[in-house]
Every structure is written in C-alpha cells, then in structure tokens.
A = this chain, B = another copy of it.
Amino acid sequence: MIRGKVNLNIPTNLVFKTEGITKSVQRGDVIIVIDVLRCSSTIVTALANAAEGVIPTKTVKEARALRKKHSEFLLAGERRGVKLKGFDLGNSPLEFSPQKVKGRHIVLTTTSGSKAIISSKKAKHVFAGAFLNVEAIAKATSKIAEREETGISLVSAGTDGQFSLEDFICAGAIAESFPATVFIHSDAVLAAILAFKQAKQSLKKVIQSGYHAQYLISQGFEEDIKFCSQLSIYKVVPFLKGGTIVSLEKSLSFC
C-alpha cells in the first residue's frame, strides 16, 4: 500500500434508518445494505448459487406486475416473515438452491431489505452485505472507496426501522475487515466492531437472542438463523446495476 493511501482517512458511517440513506447518497458514499435476517443473506445465497440477478421491489404489487411481464422470472419474498400467496419462493436463503435459481432472474420483495436497497438506488455503488460474504464485501467496497476517495455507509436495514442486533454486529464484522489504516470509523461503527469482536465466538447464539431471530424461530425458521450466522462462506459481492442486483465479479472489473 502506498503512503498516500494510508493517509486517506476515508470515513465510515452506520445508518440505522432508511431516512439516513439520503444523506449517505448525497455524500457519494459506497452503500452496503445489511439485512442479515434475511434479505441480504438470501440475495448473497441466490447469487452464490448462480442466479442471474435479483430484482428488489418495494411492494408486492410491483413484484406481481414484473412477473406478469416476464413469466420466466421467479417470484420471491415475504411479509411478516411468511412467503406470499402464489409466490415461488419465500425469503429463506435455504430455498434458493442451485436447482431452483441457477440462471434465473428473481423478483424479491421483503419487509425491510428490499426497501433499503431501493432507497439507495441513486447512489453510484450499492451492495448487499451479510455474514455470509463479510470478507468479500469488505474487500470489494473498500477498494472502490479507496479508489474513488468516497466514504462507506453501512446501512442496517433492521426490522420496521428498529435497531437490529444482527445487522449491527454484521456492520461491525464488515468494518473490522476494512484496512484499519485507511478508514476513520464513526462512533457507531466503532461500537459495532466491539460488539462483533465480542459476539464472534458464539455468533449463532448471539444472533438467536435478537428480537427478529426470536420471531423467525417462532415461525419455524430456526435453520435460517443457523445458516445466516455463518461467516464468509461465499465470495459473492451483490451489486445493484440498473435496478437488478448482480454478482460484481460477473458484471464489472472492479476487483
């Protein structure tokens, strides 16, 4: 690393609510949308299993309209954690197997994550991050931020705009993987790094203690929590390109 880069002091920032995204976009930050349970984890898994692209929509109506227009698209998503009527898939990453998603476009509408991604769409660089792809997302986004001398905003999509334990810890995991000498972390990012460091030895157990995990477990999704708690098992970097989330490796020569 050359000395000039060491002194860049690129700011990182943690955004808790969708409203905060506007400021991040205005600053020209690289955006990483984190919705561990389960939107981001599902997107990462779908792309890792060779889906062609994931198209997030805010509403169920938009999702159905897209499918009507493109009958070859898979329709996926949830409200209150549960698969929607007539949809091919819910929002459980375990459903997004290579057999089901390889080569397919998937329309995805979820309570929080899809909306946060769409709220970020005016940004030049929008990514989806989860525990599943921590190392890959940290590497790709920090390279872009260094090259373009922009900040990075980690967006904790949360549940209904509430503070989310798993998203906060995941933000810390990603920030901990950034090159330490190049970035200046905000207080919230510093706190998230501390929380991740403390949590990482028993990540699944910690995530299970969170509010949304408890709700998902009550709905029969305990296996999803286990799956989504795995660190860096995928190298895929989901990147928003013209309204569709695609694998960065496939779409561009950033890395």
Among the interface residues A169, A190, A211, which one has the most CB atoms of the partner chain B within 10 A? A190
9 CB < 8 A contacts A-B: A14-B163, A163-B187, A163-B191, A165-B188, A186-B211, A187-B211, A191-B191, A194-B206, A195-B195
A57 at the interface (CB under 8 A from B): no
**Chain B residues with CB under 8 A of A194:** 169, 194-195, 198-199, 206
Out of B164, B188, B206, name the residue touching A163 (CB < 8 Å). B188
Q: A151 → chain B, closest Cβ, in Å?
A: 15
A226 at the interface (CB under 8 A from B): no
A209 at the interface (CB under 8 A from B): yes
Tally A residues with Cβ within 8 Å of B.
Answer: 24
Chain A interface (Cβ within 8 Å of chain B)? 14, 16, 162-165, 168-169, 186-188, 190-192, 194-195, 197-199, 206, 209-212
Complex alpha-carbon distance, A108 and B209, angstroms: 40
Complex alpha-carbon distance, A162 and B14, angstroms: 11
Q: A19 → chain B, closest Cβ, in Å?
A: 12
**Chain B residues with CB under 8 A of A191:** 163, 165, 168-169, 191-192, 195
